[in-house]
Structure 1
Amino acid sequence: MKSRILAAAAVTAVALATITGCSSGASGSDGDTITFMFRGNDAEKAAYTAAIKQFEKDNDVKVKIIMTTPDDYSTKLKAAITGRQVPDVFYVDPGSVQAYVKSGIIKDITKEVEASVDLDNVWEYGVDSYRFDGKLMGQGAIYAMPKDIGPFSFGYNKTMLEAAGVPLPDKDKPYTWDEFIDVAKKVTLDTNGDGTLDQWGTGLNVQWNLQPFVWSNGADWLNEDRTKVTVDTPEFAEALQWFADMSNVEGVTPSTSDAQTLDTYQRWMEGQIGFFPVGPWDVPTYEKLDFEWDLIPYPVGSTGETASWIGTLGIAVSESTKNAELATELAIYLSTDVTAQQALVDAGVQVPNLKDMADEWVASATLPPANKQEFLDVANDYGRALPAGNTYSAEWYDELFKNIQPVLDGEQTAADYLAEVQPRMQKLLDKANADAGIG
């Protein structure tokens, strides 16, 4: 699952603290050449290469492309910063913005963005993810433009449900938790009669799928000003317990041993899982599946309102670039130029950053999923940032998942575990806020 997720974390605040001031050295530019460092696959490289050729022609500049794998990106970027060879333009995730700003690594590009971009036509979440006013993320100056947004939606195996005689879900009316379990049980089957299950309702990774259920149940990780960890509430405990009970009580997910034999992502790909998360980055791969599938909202908890999260990567400009004007133009171009966006959309790697393009994308697309509108609904209506996206470091958030396995295995109640882990999370959050100068 990790390799499929957009931008979980790059350089940590702790690491950046050791290299504060490095941005005063040389950047990656050389005369009329500017460097662009990103991570991705061959399809993204081809799309960027095509888009950048036009930028080079229009601006009489050479852009040196540096691509890494997703797993190598943060290590190589940190090495570049430490070696005072910061790329002129590079990817940044929201969780690193505060540390980059305080370390003087990235440039405030607010003036240039506001002068040249119709921000009403760019996803608000995408832009706000890179705003920082010196205290809180989400407001103030703009330090990057969105490379993309990644609405995390919920997919279902249409072929499986039809074979089991289960009515297809309503794309506009999400299942309740009880309704979802009922359907999941109907497709959890031994299809070949050998006495062993070989098909399951779902199979979800807690680190990437707990959030929709917690939020839909009226709970959250933090209070509004991000100073208190709030996981030790009855609503949060109910959501986590329900998540664990899908396996331990309801039996609608592969067992631990089943998952070790073949992980749930591969089982979804093989047509053995009824419901599974889907991001825009999955679509090119899922178009090749041997079954029909589509998107629906996540099942809803006590609030009756569906919820999900949105991933994003940003395109930032080095504070030390020798060609700030062109570097900033490149960041804005890659984020908002119609031609550049079309190249990335054609490569099937993202939802358009421009709202009017996204509407056209939904209306004109002929490949699955049929309900692409669900991606836009997440982006427009109910998607949220991952809990650690707006804090100085993610250590406090990661702490929740370090020792959560006994809950998932049914050996500890969710309420007991959350009461135990909350003080540790709070201590780490306090440290993050102190490092950020908050509090």
Structure 2
Amino acid sequence: MRRRRFLTGALGAAAAATTASAASGCGNLHSSDPDVLTFMFRGSTEERDVFARAVDVFIRRTGIQVNLISTSVDQYATKLQTAILGNSTPDLFYLEPTRTMAYVTNGVLADLSQYVDATDLPVDDIWQAGLDLYRFDGESIGKGPLYAMPKDVGPFSFGYNKTLFEEMGVEPPDPDEPLSWDEFLDRCKALTGDRDGDGKTDSWGNSVNITAELHSYVWSNGADWVDEDARTVTVDTPEFAEALQYVVDLREKHKVTPSINESEGLDGYQRWLRGQIGFFPVAPWDLTLYRTLDFDFDLCPYPTGRSGVSATNVGSLGIGVSANSRRPDRAAELAMFLSCDPEAQEIIVGQGQTIPNTRTRAKEWVKDTSIEPQNKQEYIDIVEDYGHFVPNTRTYTPEWLDTFFTNIQPVLEGRQDVGEYLKATQPVMQGFLDQGYDQLRIDQEANS
């Protein structure tokens, strides 16, 4: 019961109820044949097809049979938790890095270190930051044994609509030197206007997704969510307040992002796809779609606050091996194959699903200017230099960070003072963070 309570609780009340009710009816995702692996993964239809092709190569090369269990993104978490609770965890499965600590502590993941040490695959060539997300020594992420292979490393880059810049006569951003917040605001103002002369704004400088992009503004202003040890929530600082206020002012004061009313019919993402937004995130997983759009785009650094240093977040998914797998050696072989085998990477990267997972391939990939974006080096700079992992990847539970965004809408609409919100929210976040560490100690004692 303790194991069930923890594993479902981290998904939130709604997911917990769904998982608990479904657990008894879950089919066994283990293969009855110990020589057949089961691999559970998720994504868009296109992404799942691409990874299925890569698995086919593995099957032909090794003779190891693999049964694929694929789901949509919105169904995956509940189905995986149901499998774990029903003791029918597949041999391999995708996991969010925020789950590494919990899955290791509760005996869900196998230690892959011995298989990595024995392989001829170029694991050492994988981005170190990606590997470190799945290391855990019982105290800190980034240290100790390796419990998953990075399926990808996703730098959340900033992009711009080159066609709109040309149409509006606005100087494009430098591919290497980030704009200051003041310079960025000036560009956004110049890009916001009525292009068809009907008296209504039909282009905007920017559109901010607060949960995904606030990190950049916070970090580049010298602020952070937690202290270095990830034990104390630090949102109640002047630097953090300044970053949040800047984002609020982009819409409420300067009118360079779509208003609330303008976003009701078409959100920022949809307006970007229609060529109406000047600056917008260009993540690797969106490249296949973005390359079909009716305008040209490229990458640039995120604008910088008082630190003068650009910042953004880096995402990832891991491929873990079940601690109960009958053939953990073969499962680890497939996880490593998908993560760094050159032929597998050729299929996965070639279809625009991710940036290369290995440094050697990335060096060649950035030289290809035949397809957008031309400035692919920006992705590499994020991974190697100025990218950060969202801080809930370093804590036992994610609720403390989720709490920040729960009641933020009045702030974004200018109806609540930024400083007051941060002062009131910090102790609530701290409470959830402390609870997570208390739960870690409880689970470690129970599983020791």
Q: Is the contact made by 1:12 and 1:393 (CA closer than 8 Å) also made in structure 2?
A: no
Q: Is the contact made by 1:27 and 1:322 (CA closer than 8 Å) also made in structure 2?
A: no
For residues 38 and 130 of structure 2, the distance between their equivalents in structure 1, rounded to whole angstroms, comes to: 23
For residues 372 and 214 of structure 1, the distance between their equivalents in structure 2, rounded to whole angstroms, comes to: 24
Structure 1 residue 98 and structure 2 residue 101: aligned?
yes
The one-letter code sitting in structure 2 at the alignment partner of 1:163 is E
The one-letter code sitting in structure 2 at the alignment partner of 1:75 is T
Please list the CA deviations of residues 311-357 of structure 1 after superposition, one character each: whole Å capped at 9, or x if unmatched: 00000000001111111111111111111111101111001111111
Please list the CA deviations of residues 79-123 of structure 1 after superposition, one character each: whole Å capped at 9, or x if unmatched: 111222111001011101111111111101112113325444110
User: Among 322, 340, 343, which residue is 1:318 paired with?
Assistant: 322
Please list the CA deviations of residues 107-141 of structure 1 after superposition, one character each: whole Å capped at 9, or x if unmatched: 01112113325444110111000010101111111
Share of identical aligned residues, percent?
A: 47
For residues 248 and 299 of structure 1, the distance between their equivalents in structure 2, rounded to whole angstroms, comes to: 19
Please list the CA deviations of residues 124-168 of structure 1 after superposition, one character each: whole Å capped at 9, or x if unmatched: 111000010101111111000000010000010111111111111
User: Among 250, 257, 260, which residue is 1:253 paired with?
Assistant: 257
Match of residue 126 from structure 1: 130
Match of residue 385 from structure 1: 389
Q: Which ranges of structure 1 fall in alignment gaps of 5 or more residues? A: 1-9
Structure 1 residue 328 and structure 2 residue 332: aligned?
yes
User: Among 43, 67, 72, which residue is 1:69 paired with?
Assistant: 72
User: Among 243, 268, 273, which residue is 2:272 paired with?
Assistant: 268
For residues 432 and 287 of structure 2, the distance between their equivalents in structure 1, rounded to whole angstroms, comes to: 37
Match of residue 30 from structure 2: 28
Deviation of 1:26 after TM superposition, in Å, equals 7.4
Match of residue 10 from structure 2: 13
Please list the CA deviations of residues 363-420 of structure 1 after superposition, one character each: whole Å capped at 9, or x if unmatched: 1351101111111110111111112111111100011101111111111221111001
Counterparts of residues 146-165 of structure 1 (less than 5 Å) = 146-165=150-169
Counterparts of residues 7-406 of structure 1 (less than 5 Å) = 13=10, 28-29=30-31, 30-116=33-119, 117-406=121-410
For residues 45 and 399 of structure 1, the distance between their equivalents in structure 2, rounded to whole angstroms, comes to: 32
Select between 317-326 and 29-38 the one with higher mean Cα deviation: 29-38
Deviation of 1:14 after TM superposition, in Å, equals 6.6
TM, length-normalised to structure 1: 0.93
Secondary structure of 2:73 counterpart? coil
Match of residue 409 from structure 1: 413
Q: Is the contact made by 2:123 and 2:340 (CA closer than 8 Å) also made in structure 1?
A: no
Please list the CA deviations of residues 57-77 of structure 1 after superposition, one character each: whole Å capped at 9, or x if unmatched: 232221001110111100111
Deviation of 1:281 after TM superposition, in Å, equals 0.5
Deviating 4+ runs (over 4 angstroms): 14-19
For residues 309 and 324 of structure 2, the distance between their equivalents in structure 1, rounded to whole angstroms, comes to: 45
Secondary structure of 2:74 counterpart? coil
The one-letter code sitting in structure 2 at the alignment partner of 1:28 is H
Secondary structure of 2:367 counterpart? helix
The one-letter code sitting in structure 1 at the alignment partner of 2:212 is W
Deviation of 1:12 after TM superposition, in Å, equals 5.4
Match of residue 440 from structure 2: 436
TM, length-normalised to structure 2: 0.91
For residues 134 and 380 of structure 1, the distance between their equivalents in structure 2, rounded to whole angstroms, comes to: 26
Select between 106-115 and 130-139 the one with higher mean Cα deviation: 106-115
Match of residue 3 from structure 2: none
Secondary structure of 1:210 counterpart? helix
Q: How many residues align?
A: 426
Secondary structure of 1:139 counterpart? strand
Deviation of 1:42 after TM superposition, in Å, equals 2.6
Secondary structure of 1:277 counterpart? strand
For residues 41 and 11 of structure 1, the distance between their equivalents in structure 2, rounded to whole angstroms, comes to: 25
Q: Please provide the CA RMSD for this pair.
A: 2.0
